[in-house]
Amino acid sequence: MKLKYIVVTGGVMSGLGKGITMASIGRILKNRGYEVVPIKIDPYINIDAGTMNPYQHGEVYVLGDGTEVDLDLGHYERFMDVELTRAHNITTGVVYSAVIERERRGDYLGQTVQIIPHVTDEIKARIRGVAEGSNADICLIEIGGTVGDIESMPFLEAVRQMHCEEEESDFILIHLTLVPLTTLGEPKTKPTQHSVKALRELGLQPDIIVCRGRAVLDEAVKRKIAMFCNVKPDAVISAPDTEDIYEVPLLLEREGIATHIMGKLQLEPLKDDRQWMEMVDRSRAAAASSRRIKVAIVGKYTGLEDSYLSIKEALKHAATETGCRVELKWIEAEELEVEAGAGERDKRQLEPLFADIHGMLVPGGFGVRGAEGKIKAIEYARVKKIPFLGLCFGFQLAVIEVARHIAGLEDANSTELTATTPYPVIDLQEEQKGVNDKGGTMRLGDYEIFIRGDTLAERVYQRRKVIERHRHRYEVNPGYIDVIEERGAVFSGTDRSGLRMEILELEGDQHPFFFATQFHPEFKSRPGRPSPPFKAFVEACMRYEAGHRAVQI
């Protein structure tokens, strides 16, 4: 079978859901038996997403090979159940760096190096290299940004050239736009018309237009868009808002997008895989369940929930499989520092905030802002025996909290937060000392974790060796491991050498579920296959909720 290409572009405004739309199309094609490979093109000049503020771009997602990427690649991995690499994310920074390096080496033999053909050739070569090397049947390409942005122009031109170079039945362009409603509820098509006009001025005619909005479009509106945008009415797809993003493939199916794609690419279904539909049914049942747990997420980027997108999705995966409804309570860690007093007064201020929760999660992050607030929250969860899950920086802060209040190392801290701590229980990795570049220099990607027998970690994972993804620069100082463990804390997971601590837990009667990981288990959680730590955490929250409900009765 000849390789097929599907390109997804966006117009009107950013943030409409190109990533979820492309991920959903990939899921639809996989359900029909085809192998797919996704590529994300990000027009920003950054080499990767690693140095970006989460408030600007959402979470930084980490691939197995350690590449720091946009959160859309997380959607691709979750929806399509694929493992991606650095090659699947193309940025302006990567492309221009490669072209400039070639020019410096003299590879262009004295030519004047230009956007066309040199930059566009580099883009096409990267796309085709990934597509052809994947052994996939269909390559899906999302071009980030919005049509009309100057940053996107070279990528759209490269796609235009590819369209000319491929057979008509091997290439399809899908354009995502916004159809807003007036205050009276009237859908307006003019933004879509202008967006498609901008695309056509670049030499690209969409085959399918996916229309985002609050409501389903009626046939009259679809016919109007079709007429002004030069597509068939059945190629105008309505994609209204939905509570659960995992329903989007089913929504697009009902709108007939699969029929149009399969027809244009001259494909026949190879199978009818209904596992995704069954998973969505379980998710709906869980969301409607009378079993409800509330989880507090104590972070420093809670003003933008996409900063913790993979955590939200991992909790949803766990809730689906355990049959309960998870509600999230977002708590800004810095506010705990501002409001907190000392001693009993401190505890009284925290109690109203955490009185209604059944579990606490402290996620990753960097820097001193909010750190002491997170430590206060962790102490509260430990003392009150509330199920606790700490991730990455949350693991490090849990180590600090245990060192201070169980091991008796008063003023223990991380050298990331203060250089003058008398007990640096968290310190810079030896190989990180003297490293000045911030991009791509942390301990990143997949590493093995070896789990101690007869521990909570072994019960959580049901195995003694696992592979999880990392993103950190600091870690537990080996000089303090013994003194921390002497008081009942357990480092139940380590690297192969036994010198890097990966999992912290509290033994037996000290706590029903106090579990923290240096790695990010949320990055490997999948619909229908939840991350073991998240599933165990949700189950612990359910037990805690049931126990408190029984006491109240």
Q: Are 179 and 213 in contact (CB under 8 A)?
A: yes
Neighbours of 163 (CB within 10 A): 18
In this predicted model, what pLDDT tens digit does every residue of 173-208 receive, in sequence order? 999 999 999 988 899 999 999 999 999 999 999 999
Find tokens 């000089």 and name the residue. Answer: 479
Kindly state whether residue 279 falls inside one of the protein's structural domains.
Answer: no
> Residue 548 above 80 pLDDT?
no
- Residues listed for the chain: 553
452, 310: one domain: yes
How distant, in Å, are the alpha carbons of 298, 533, 535 from that of 391?
11, 10, 14
pLDDT-above-90 percentage for the chain: 84
Longest CA span, the chain: 83
234, 314: one domain: no
pTM above 0.75, yes or no: yes
The rounded distance, in Å, linking the Cα atoms of 294 and 353 is 12
Q: Over the chain, what is the mean pLDDT?
A: 93
> Residue 553 above 60 pLDDT?
no
Average pLDDT over residues 377-399: 97
CATH number at residue 50: 3.40.50.300
Kindly state whether residue 119 falls inside one of the protein's structural domains.
Answer: yes
Average pLDDT over residues 120-132: 97
Kindly state whether residue 282 falls inside one of the protein's structural domains.
Answer: no
In this predicted model, what pLDDT tens digit does every residue of 134-174 receive, in sequence order? 999 999 999 999 999 999 999 999 999 999 999 999 999 99
Q: 181, 175, 182, 184: which is closest to 211 by C-alpha?
A: 175
Given 273, 299, 331, the domain boundary residue is 273
For position 347, what pLDDT does the model report? 57
Q: 68, 65, 107: which is closest to 83 by C-alpha?
A: 65
387, 243: one domain: no
For position 345, what pLDDT does the model report? 47
Three-state DSSP class for residue 207 = coil
For position 38, what pLDDT does the model report? 98
Kindly state whether residue 434 falls inside one of the protein's structural domains.
Answer: no
Strand partners, 325: 292
Residue 422 buriedness (CB in 10 A; 0-12 / 13-18 / 19+): exposed
For position 402, what pLDDT does the model report? 97
Please give the distance of CA 254 from its chain centroid, rounded to a whole number.
27
Q: Are 191 and 168 in contact (CB under 8 A)?
A: no
CATH number at residue 505: 3.40.50.880
Kindly state whether residue 469 falls inside one of the protein's structural domains.
Answer: yes
Task: Please list the active-site residues.
Answer: 392, 520, 522
396, 479: one domain: yes
Find tokens 């994310």 and name the residue. Answer: 89
The 3-class SS string of 13-33 reads: CCCCCHHHHHHHHHHHHHHCC
243, 332: one domain: no
73, 31: one domain: yes
More confident residue, 550 or 38: 38
Average pLDDT over residues 73-83: 96
**pLDDT band at residue 103, thresholds of 50, 70 and 90?**
very high
Q: 157, 155, 146, 145: which is closest to 202 by C-alpha?
A: 157
**pLDDT band at residue 442, thresholds of 50, 70 and 90?**
confident
For position 350, what pLDDT does the model report? 84
353, 259: one domain: no
For position 99, what pLDDT does the model report? 96
Please report which helix (H) or strand (E) contains residue 236, including its range: strand 236-240
Q: How many domains does the chain fold into?
A: 2
**pLDDT band at residue 340, thresholds of 50, 70 and 90?**
very low
For position 301, what pLDDT does the model report? 85
Kindly state whether residue 285 falls inside one of the protein's structural domains.
Answer: no
In this predicted model, what pLDDT tens digit does every residue of 394-439 receive, in sequence order? 999 999 999 999 999 999 999 999 999 999 999 987 766 666 655 6
Kindly state whether residue 150 falls inside one of the protein's structural domains.
Answer: yes
For position 438, what pLDDT does the model report? 58
In this predicted model, what pLDDT tens digit does every residue of 524-535 receive, in sequence order? 999 999 999 999
Task: Tokens for 391, please give them.
Answer: 């991730």
Kindly state whether residue 284 falls inside one of the protein's structural domains.
Answer: no
360, 237: one domain: no
Q: How far apart are the first and last CA of the chain?
A: 64
Q: Are 193 and 228 in contact (CB under 8 A)?
A: yes
Q: 434, 447, 442: which is closest to 473 by C-alpha?
A: 442
Q: Are 177 and 210 in contact (CB under 8 A)?
A: yes
Burial of 483-503, coded b for 16+ CB within 10 Å and e otherwise, reads bbeebebbbbbbbeeeebbbb
For position 551, what pLDDT does the model report? 60
Integer-rounded Cα radius of gyration of the chain: 25
Average pLDDT over residues 239-252: 95
For position 196, what pLDDT does the model report? 96
Given 218, 245, 273, the domain boundary residue is 273
- For residue 173, the one-letter residue type is L
263, 368: one domain: no
Can the peptide bond before residue 117 be classed as cis, meaning omega within 30 degrees of 0? yes
Q: Are strands 474-476 and 423-428 parallel, antiparallel or unpaired?
A: antiparallel
20, 104: one domain: yes
Domain that holds residue 476: 290-428+440-552
Given 227, 243, 273, the domain boundary residue is 273
> Residue 341 above 70 pLDDT?
no
**pLDDT band at residue 52, thresholds of 50, 70 and 90?**
confident
In this predicted model, what pLDDT tens digit does every residue of 287-311 receive, in sequence order? 999 999 999 999 988 888 889 999 9
264, 296: one domain: no
136, 44: one domain: yes
Average pLDDT over residues 93-112: 94
